[in-house]
Amino acid sequence: MDLGIQGKRALVCASSKGLGKAIAKALAKEGVRLFLCARDAKTLIDAADEVGSVATEPVTAMTCDLSTEEGRELLISQVRDTLGEVDILVHNVGGPKPSKVETTTLQDWQTGFDQVFQSVTQLNEAFVPDMKKNRWGRILCVTSLSAFEPINDLAVSNGLRPAITAMLKTLSDEVA
């Protein structure tokens, strides 16, 4: 399939397994230059090799923790050094730890917010201006069914995933 994105540049977060890796492979087959990231170095290296085996453009991988501001800043810096700009931004991050509302602490909420919400907003802040300047860009956000229907014992995810969806809809209305 030709999606018309050959030669574009993409950052795919949490791309060492699951949906993130599948998205990276699909983009690689389309001729997209890729920057992959994940927390686990070994899994990420294996995924980068697998994605690279179907790629026609370079694949770069970096271990980082998107739940910290420092991790996000380092990622942004490395992506800028490697790709320059990002045309396709794929948000994907593991969910906050399971909990019930009654047993979720303020620190659990803050940790989840940093991990799930702030990773999206900080990467958008870094790369959406390039998309606007170039009058072309795509943002894909892998969230959870909890964005639409709460899932038992996932209090933090149930609270944050709909917020991400609403924020990205607002962003799309503002920049589309």
Confidence grade of residue 148 (pLDDT, cut at 50, 70, 90):
confident
Q: Rounded to whole angstroms, what are the CA distances from 140 to 63, 70, 108, 124, 137?
A: 21, 23, 26, 11, 10
DSSP assignment of 110-133 equals HHHIIIIIIHHHHHHHHHHHHHHH
Handedness of CA 135, 171, 64, 24 (dihedral sign): negative
Which position has the higher pLDDT, 1 or 55?
Answer: 55
* pTM: predicted TM-score of the whole model, two decimal places: 0.95
**How far is residue 10's CA from residue 85's CA, in Å, rounded to a whole number?**
9
What pLDDT, in 10s, does the model give residues 24-78?
Answer: 999 999 999 999 999 999 999 999 999 999 999 999 999 999 999 999 999 999 9
* In the predicted structure, residue 156 carries a pLDDT above the cut 80: yes
In percent, the amount of the chain with pLDDT more than 90 equals 91
Checking if the pLDDT of 1 tops 80, the result is no
**For 85-106, how does the pLDDT look when each residue is reduced to its tens digit (9 = 90+)?**
999 999 999 889 999 999 999 9
Pairing of strands 9-12, 138-142: unpaired
Give the pLDDT confidence score for residue 45 in this predicted structure: 97
pLDDT tier for residue 6 given thresholds of 50, 70 and 90: very high
